[in-house]
């Protein structure tokens, strides 16, 4: 039996909940319609331009927290976390066989209260530039820059 619920929170967050009876593992994800192909965005009629790799940069940086690395927090809670950036979206997710609510708090905390330091930004910029350069000799990636 599958129970499926969908609703929108007061702040506009779309929530989908799927419950499968007799399944032990829980999967939770949160995403944004902003990926590697998005090189600009508009807020209140003003368009802002971004650099290639910005979505992937943000994917990495959202795991930085004032108390350390969110990956470590997920591990402490027996949850496995990851994220990915595609052309049109970025998704953060975790899975667990145990308590759902504590890892969910970590996921929501990292997503809605990003933490950036100058040192962390500089370090991550170098990582993202290195990753972008890995695709210079890939024909399929040349048209996405």
* Active-site annotation holds for 59: yes
pLDDT on residue 95? 94
pTM (two decimals) = 0.78
Considering the candidates 19, 59, 102, 131, report the single residue annotated as catalytic. 59
Specify the DSSP element, H or E, that contains 123. helix 118-134
Averaged over 31-57, what is the pLDDT? 91
| Residue 115 tokens, joined | 């933490």
- Average model confidence (pLDDT) for the chain? 86
Nearest to 14 by CA among 30, 3, 28, 27: 30
pLDDT in tens, 84-143: 999 999 999 999 998 889 999 999 999 999 898 888 777 777 777 676 677 666 555 555
Averaged over 23-42, what is the pLDDT? 90
Percent of the chain whose predicted confidence (pLDDT) is above 70:
88
pLDDT on residue 136? 63
pLDDT on residue 145? 46
pLDDT on residue 11? 82
- Between CA 54 and CA 44 the distance in angstroms is 21
What number of other Cβ atoms are within 10 A of residue 12's Cβ? 6
- Are the C-beta atoms of residues 86 and 54 closer than 8 Å to each other? no
């Amino acid at each position: 039996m599958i129970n499926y619920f969908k609703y929108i929170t007061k702040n506009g967050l779309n929530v989908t909940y799927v419950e499968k009876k007799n399944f032990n593992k829980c999967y939770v994800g949160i995403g944004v319609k902003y990926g590697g192909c998005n090189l600009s965005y508009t807020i209140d009629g003003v368009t802002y331009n971004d650099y290639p790799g910005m979505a992937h940069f943000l994917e990495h940086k959202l795991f930085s927290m004032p108390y350390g690395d969110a990956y470590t927090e997920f591990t402490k809670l027996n949850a496995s976390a990851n994220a990915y950036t595609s052309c049109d979206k970025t998704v953060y997710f975790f899975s667990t066989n145990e308590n759902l609510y504590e890892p969910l708090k970590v996921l929501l905390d990292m997503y809605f209260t990003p933490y950036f330091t100058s040192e962390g930004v500089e370090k991550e910029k170098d990582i993202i530039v290195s990753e972008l350069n890995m695709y210079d000799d890939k024909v399929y990636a040349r048209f996405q820059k």
